[in-house]
Chains A and B, each alone.
Chain A
Amino acid sequence: MMGNFLTPRCLAIAVAIALLAALPAWMNGVYYVNVASQILFYAVFALGLNVLVGYAGLTSLGHAALFGVAAYATAYMLQLGYGHTESILVALLVGVASMAVYAVLSLRSTGIGFIMITLALGEILWGLAYRWISLTGGDNGINVPKRPAPFGFAMSNATNFYYVTLIVFLLSVIAMAIFVRSPFGAALRGTRDQPRRMNALGYHVWLIRFYACLFSGLLTAVSGILFVYYTQFISPQTLALTSSAEVLLMVIAGGPGTLLGPIVGAGLVVIVKTVVSGFIERWNFLLGAIFVAIVILMPDGLVPGTTRLWRRFIRKRPPAPAKTEAAP
């Protein structure tokens, strides 16, 4: 399938990338460019969580804490006076290392047990950020006075920040696409669907899951760093259970176990939180209602759900247009 670049799918991807690259030009105003940046880095976060939720069948309810750890690490390093490069590297390292510990502890269990352990871990990290005032400043948070300017490319400008985020986002999507198609991705899906059989086949189920966690942690840390540079501020609320629930909502709403799903989900949640909340006062209620409705009515998420509806719609239509499509 990689051979033919003229399939509708490849065309759609090309058009999507072109539209994203040109977004600051056709999007009206800085505000929407900033909203787009938020969607993109939250999408990276959701992609990271999706590695576990969608492909490994492990629902983590503490991921915002890992996101926050990377953000705090960046802000703390900058506060100590280190440069952006060192800060980002240390934050990545701290993020992945925290994920390793998180994984070792939580992978002792699956299903509801995994949810509970990750929830407890998330609350512990939140509690430390909240109360370990000498390190984190507690509720006062830590300010990040300046965004970096790699090679003189000032990220303080909204459009420039958008482009950097877009590049990181595209790299993350490519990494995800490679991961999904790799033998490792297949093995991970195997551990999700048939853990015992995988074990019998000689796979080390625990190790496969552990590596998946590390990959998820890396994407989470990357998005956490983008977040802290975007808001230029970090405080304990970023690590709270509500934040973990929101990113889980992105994955579940969009479609766990699909490449596009978490991206669509991130778009949905960010738009409700930022844009729609300006028009509807009860936006928290709306967010909850969307969540409940999707879980009950479209359990596999918006992307697979609408695809299915669309296919059914095409099949139901009078035969003429459908026939041409059907040719292989």
Chain B
Amino acid sequence: MNFWLVLTVNSITFGGLLFLLSAGFSLIFGLMRIPNLTHGSLFMLGAYVGATFTVGLLGFKLNFWLAAILATLAVAAIGALAERLLLRRLPGDQLAQVLVTLGLSFMAADLCLMLWGGDPLNVTTPDGLGGFVRVGTVAFPMYRLAIIAIAIVVAVGLWLLLDRTRLGAMIRAGVDDPDMARVVGIRVSQLFTIVFALGAGLAAFAGIIGGPILSVYPGLDQDMLPLALVVVILGGTGSLLGSFVGSIIVGFIYNFGQALLPELAYFVLFMPMLLVLLLRPQGLFGRQIP
């Protein structure tokens, strides 16, 4: 009984983390039509930058949340630069853009190893969230539950941004029909930079939020990227709701798959992605891309 309860709750909390990871991926995919294969690297980079401040590698320690904000901003800036300097040179050539992100992911992984070495970094749980919530005999770590709250706050914030602001309207227009958006005077290319930076920042934020659970180690990028892919393909690219629902579904598949079907754990993880690609390419909540 406890086993099922623990796994169920963990599926939801892990889903929350996956949402933070995949929301930015989904936005970039929706607007620019490319799977950004550096997304795992940006997640890892955010975790490393954040951990640098919380662990005190530079000789001073920062508060967890302050470190999270700094890491988010730093990686968002890196994302903006990558878009401006590299992807911008390949306008409209989606294949080439995917390949550039693939090459960048090789470079980023090696760069992290060079800067931070091979030792894993232990990100401690932020103050006040180290305790447990007890339900009967089962104890749930407070921090994991807090991740659900963080994911919901970020989801609402993103929804407000996309639904209630001028920038959001432009992004939505760009997702629905980039040519038409251009015609009505939206500077789509500038929008690309903004969305890429936003997506990179979100990935970095997810990385540092995930730090206390996952810690930071070389190879984290490759562990997370496939999960983001599955979530976004399931939920539908460019759809916030899709990312949210997709994250929770993948959270459940990941947890129960690993525990109950260890030999087929990855099969049951990627199979839904394949089925959606074949049967409903726009995803559960995505719109048909013309």
Binding site for B on A (CB under 8 A): 59, 105, 108-109, 111-113, 115-117, 119-121, 123-124, 126-128, 130-134, 241-242, 245, 248-249, 252, 282, 284-285, 287-292, 295-296, 299
Contact = CB atoms under 8 A, between A and B. Distances in A.
A268 B197 CA distance: 33
A124 B222 contact: no
Contact of B266 (A123, A133, A134, A248): A123
Given A112-B94, A123-B266, 11 more contacts: A112-B35, A116-B277, A127-B265, A128-B264, A131-B265, A132-B263, A241-B226, A284-B106, A295-B100, A296-B90, A296-B96
A287 B278 CA distance: 33
Contact of B107 (A117, A127, A128, A285): A285
Nearest to A105: B278
B98 A112 contact: yes
A123 B263 CA distance: 14
A105 B273 CA distance: 12
A292 B101 CA distance: 8
Interface string B18-59: 000000000000000111000000000000000000000000
Contact of A134 (B93, B99, B114, B263): B263
Contact of A295 (B34, B103, B105, B106): B103
Nearest to B34: A112
Contacts of B102: 245, 248, 291
A117 B277 contact: yes
Contacts of A284: 106-107, 109-110
A294 B146 CA distance: 45
Nearest to B275: A120
A230 to B, nearest CB: 24
Contact of A285 (B94, B111, B262, B265): B111
B214 interface: no
A120 B103 contact: no
Contacts of A113: 277, 281
A245 B222 CA distance: 13
A290 B99 CA distance: 11
A116 B278 CA distance: 10
A271 B277 CA distance: 37
A127 B94 CA distance: 28
A121 B89 CA distance: 31
Interface string B262-287: 11111101110110011001000000
Most chain A beta carbons < 10 A, residue from B109, B233, B266: B266
Contacts of A131: 262-267
Interface residues of B, number: 42
B270 A291 contact: no
24 contacts: A59-B95, A109-B281, A111-B95, A113-B281, A115-B35, A119-B229, A120-B274, A124-B266, A127-B267, A131-B265, A131-B267, A133-B263, A134-B263, A242-B222, A245-B102, A248-B99, A248-B102, A252-B99, A288-B103, A288-B105, A288-B106, A290-B103, A291-B103, A295-B103
Which 8 residue pairs of A and B lie closest in terms of their CB atoms, listed nearest first? A127-B266, A288-B106, A291-B103, A288-B107, A292-B103, A285-B110, A284-B110, A120-B274
Interface in B204-245: 222, 226, 229, 233
Contacts of B104: 288, 292
A299 B90 CA distance: 10
A164 to B, nearest CB: 32
Contacts of A291: 99-100, 102-103, 106
A123 B225 CA distance: 12
A295 B96 contact: yes
Contact of B114 (A130, A285, A289): A285
A301 B266 CA distance: 35
B129 interface: no
B153 interface: no
A287 B263 contact: no
Most chain B beta carbons < 10 A, residue from A59, A117, A282, A292: A292
Contacts of A288: 103-108, 110
Contacts of A109: 277, 281
Nearest to A130: B266
B86 interface: yes
A128 B90 contact: no
A287 B99 CA distance: 13
A248 B42 CA distance: 22
A132 B264 contact: yes
B137 to A, nearest CB: 32
Contact of B233 (A120, A241, A249): A120
Given A112-B94, A123-B270, A284-B109, A292 B100 contact: yes
Interface in B77-129: 86, 89-90, 93-96, 98-100, 102-111, 114
Contacts of B108: 288
Contact of B99 (A119, A133, A282, A295): A295
Most chain B beta carbons < 10 A, residue from A105, A126, A242, A295: A295
Contacts of A116: 35, 229, 233, 277
A296 B86 contact: yes
Nearest to A127: B266
Given A127-B269, A292-B103, A282 B274 contact: no
Nearest to A289: B107
Contact of A105 (B105, B107, B229, B274): B274
A166 B274 CA distance: 38
B267 A128 contact: yes
Contacts of B233: 116, 120
